[in-house]
Amino acid sequence: MVSRKGRSMSMPDKSLEKWTFSRVAASIGAITTGNDIIFSPPIKIDSREISGGDIFWALQGERTDGHAFIEEAMERGAKGLVINPESAGVSLKRVLREKVPSIFVKDTGAALKDLSLRRLEMLDLENMIAITGSVGKTTTREMVRSVAASLGKVHCARRSFNTWIGCALTVLEAPLDTRTLILEMGTNHPGEIMEMASMFKPRYGIITEIGPGHLEGLKDEKGVLEAKMELAKVGSLQFLSYNSDNENLSRAVQDLSGDIIRIPVGRTSPLYRIEDDRFDLASDGPSLSTVLETPSGKRNLKSRLFGKQNSYAIAFAIAAGDHLGVSKADQNAALESFKPLPGRGGFHISGNGVYFIDETYNANPLSMRQALVTLSEIKTEGKKWAVLGAMGELGDESDKLHGDMFAYFHLLDGVFLFGEPWSRAMPAGTPGNCRIFDDLSKLSDTLLTSLSRGDLVLFKGSRSFRMERAMKNLEDKG
């Protein structure tokens, strides 16, 4: 039986046990059907990721409509649905017949926004932090999360959810006892960060760096800067931590109007200055030593992160920790035990003694350059190799920006490239240590026959070029 719930401006009971499908529906003027169960995370928008007990939220995108995968979500064990019944097609009959707990709305995207804001009102937050930047967003987010954990419940995305949809899901999944909420905000077109920041109203912001990325929508580095600076221009922001070593970013921050308290981080910062850092690769993995001068004195930290660029993430986390009132001891313990997320500098050793650096999550020209420089500076007993997928969403600058990378290849023993953008960008006089492949299996087989014990291999590329598969192929065969 379908029941209609009238629009209610009163919030659902703040008891998690009482946040049922019917109460959720009532809060956004929706319709419910099926059994009335607790509305609890995880909430998934991709039917392929559904497992038993998840809620499937069918969103209508530009390329695909989640309503086409309702039955797949049910087959995979979704315990509940949020759908537009008019878009469900023949799947609606099964939903009603099996009394699947469901919320019916006219616009699933609008409902996601609406419900996330209502959930936000239910949280008794002490801190709301938003992080953006061209590189280092997720690592910085996870480090801030680790540092803030000693203050009580901290919540952030379970993976790199940096669109408004990801932020909304992060808010919806936040436990009611959350005290610190951390949102990651990315962008590929103007106005996107402003929309997110205006929706969720963070008080503390971090801009990690500005560099070329998502140029199809942002045109050039100036466009990237303007897009990231949207975070600083939302009315709720009171504190802004930023990379002071980027002159354009630093100048833009100084030109801000209003009473935002500025917290610069970097090698030139007067507040949180990276005084020194050293990176080595030991037999048990990466070792990064960072010396940081802070308003409360010098800090010396050791972490297991890949590359000196991660000293910025450490500095941002310490600045945030100081702002939140986390003790030095708790900050140090959190950062020194920190482990990178998959695809962001993880370290692996194969059965035949080859070292892998996993940077497969994504790539843009700035992060690619950083990784190649770090790789070239590492002292190893064996050879150094790079397996590089192409970089996506670079627009008209793609050929030039890929071509710029070739200047770093001569420092390595071998470079295996995958993706047509590399072929277009290959300059005259390309180093003889480079090879381009159009088949991942062939790339892996060729690399496998080239490696010896003690060699070090970096895997990096944009998500669409599937470098994690190339790495797994090599691990499986090695």
Last residue of a domain, one of 291, 312, 336: 336
Q: Is the pLDDT assigned to residue 386 strictly greater than 80?
A: yes
Same-domain pairing of 68 and 199: no
Report the side by side order of strands in the sheet with 239-243: 154-156, 180-184, 127-132, 204-207, 239-243, 261-266, 272-282, 285-294, 297-303
295 part of a folded domain: yes
393 part of a folded domain: yes
Rounded to an integer, what distance in angstroms lies between the CA atom of residue 131 and that of residue 196?
11
Between residues 265 and 396, the one the model is more confident about = 265
Q: Is the pLDDT assigned to residue 476 strictly greater than 70?
A: no
pLDDT digits (tens, 9 = 90+) for 239-274: 999 999 999 999 999 999 888 999 999 999 999 999
Q: Is the pLDDT assigned to residue 162 strictly greater than 90?
A: no
166 part of a folded domain: yes
| Segments forming the whole domain that contains residue 306 | 123-336
Same-domain pairing of 192 and 48: no
Look up the CATH number of the domain holding residue 74.
Answer: 3.40.1390.10
Same-domain pairing of 152 and 281: yes
pLDDT digits (tens, 9 = 90+) for 336-364: 999 888 888 888 888 788 889 999 988 89
Q: Is the pLDDT assigned to residue 475 strictly greater than 90?
A: no
Last residue of a domain, one of 61, 88, 114: 114
Same-domain pairing of 331 and 363: no
Confidence of residue 211 (pLDDT cuts 50, 70, 90): confident
Report whether 468 contacts 343 (CB < 8 A). yes
267 part of a folded domain: yes
341 part of a folded domain: no
Same-domain pairing of 97 and 15: yes
Same-domain pairing of 324 and 352: no
Q: Is the pLDDT assigned to residue 3 strictly greater than 90?
A: no
Check: pTM over 0.85? Answer yes or no: yes
Same-domain pairing of 91 and 233: no
Same-domain pairing of 177 and 235: yes
Same-domain pairing of 151 and 246: yes
Which residues, other chains included, contact 282 with Cβ-Cβ below 8 Å and sequence gap of 6+?
none
Same-domain pairing of 240 and 377: no
Look up the CATH number of the domain holding residue 310.
Answer: 3.40.1190.10
199 part of a folded domain: yes
pLDDT for 429: 66
Segment among 7-21, 22-36, 354-368 with least mean pLDDT: 7-21
Chain length of the chain:
478
Look up the CATH number of the domain holding residue 427.
Answer: 3.90.190.20
pLDDT digits (tens, 9 = 90+) for 164-196: 999 999 999 999 999 999 999 998 889 999 999
Q: Is the pLDDT assigned to residue 6 strictly greater than 50?
A: no
Q: How many domains does the chain have?
A: 3
pLDDT, averaged across the chain: 90
Same-domain pairing of 162 and 106: no
Token digits for 365? 């020209």
Report the side by side order of strands in the sheet with 80-83: 2-4, 31-33, 102-104, 80-83, 55-57, 43-44
Same-domain pairing of 128 and 107: no
Last residue of a domain, one of 72, 87, 114: 114
